[in-house]
Amino acid sequence: MPYVIAEPCIDVKDASCVDVCPVDCIYTGGRMLYIQPDECIDCDACVPVCPVDAIYWVDDVPPEWSEYIAANAEFFGPEVTGWGKPGGAYKVGPSDLDHPLVLRRAQEGRSR
């Protein structure tokens, strides 16, 4: 998994990263965006356009957001969306679903 979208994306979903992704591997969830790890080609195009600095190379994800490494991959599994290897975000379209971590962190943010 080359790149990961972390917590700063929750409830932002700017989509500048989606617009520049040459392989259409950034998917829209209900509260944030997710990178499909098997589709990402490690081109780095998404990183500089993210207005909230939410996208990190997997080895550079800050420790406080390390859970998002698994969350980005698990989002595509049967437990969350069931998409598996969807083959492009445009084809799938946006979803109202999110990884449980995102839902939990969003809720924690509201209660602070």
11-65 residue pLDDT tens:
999 999 999 999 999 999 999 999 999 999 999 999 999 999 999 999 999 999 9
Average pLDDT value for the chain: 93
Mean pLDDT of 83-102: 92
Average pLDDT over residues 77-105: 91
Go through the domains of the chain in sequence order and give each one's CATH number. 3-105 (3.30.70.20)
DSSP one-letter string for 16-76? HHHHH-TT--EEE-SSSEEE-TTT------STTT-TT--EEEGGG--GGGTHHHHHHHHTT
Q: Is the confidence at residue 111, as pLDDT, over 70?
A: no
